[in-house]
Amino acid sequence: MITSVDVLKIAPELSTVITAGTWTVLIAQAYNEMNATLWGPYLDAGATWYAAHLATITTRRGIPGWPSMRKVGEVAAGNTVPPLLASAYSMTSYGIEFERMLNARPASRFDVA
């Protein structure tokens, strides 16, 4: 099982915005939503990317939509409706990698008991 240390290796910018208790919840959620049989030996790798995705979404504090614009000086933000056929994973770069890994699993194209 992964820890926040594993996730922070790929997402160091999250080190100051997610608390230890929140990491515990997000990592547990990642594992709960993943099929261990489908992922096989890649389960921990997938959970790492998925937890980073969940953590990034958590920092948005419920703001809906895909990020479309950011500005740091004088603070600004913008969100847009999702592009046609975009998955929720495409909301973050971590989710895009998670989805790529998921689609690479041959069993993801079939029902797994």
Query: Above 60 in pLDDT, residue 61?
Result: yes
* Domain count across the chain: 1
Q: Residues 39-59: pLDDT tens digits?
A: 999 999 999 999 999 999 888
Distance of alpha carbon 22 from alpha carbon 38, whole angstroms: 26
What pLDDT is attached to residue 92?
84
In Å, how far are 34, 69, 79, 92 from 105, measured between CA atoms?
Answer: 12, 33, 31, 20
- For residue 13, name the pLDDT band (cuts at 50, 70, 90): very high
Structural domain of 87: 4-109
- Mean of the pLDDT values across residues 15-27? 95
Q: Residues 73-101: pLDDT tens digits?
A: 676 666 555 555 567 787 888 988 999 99
Q: Do the beta carbons of residue 51 and residue 14 sit within 8 Å?
A: no
Residue 95 buriedness (CB in 10 A; 0-12 / 13-18 / 19+): buried
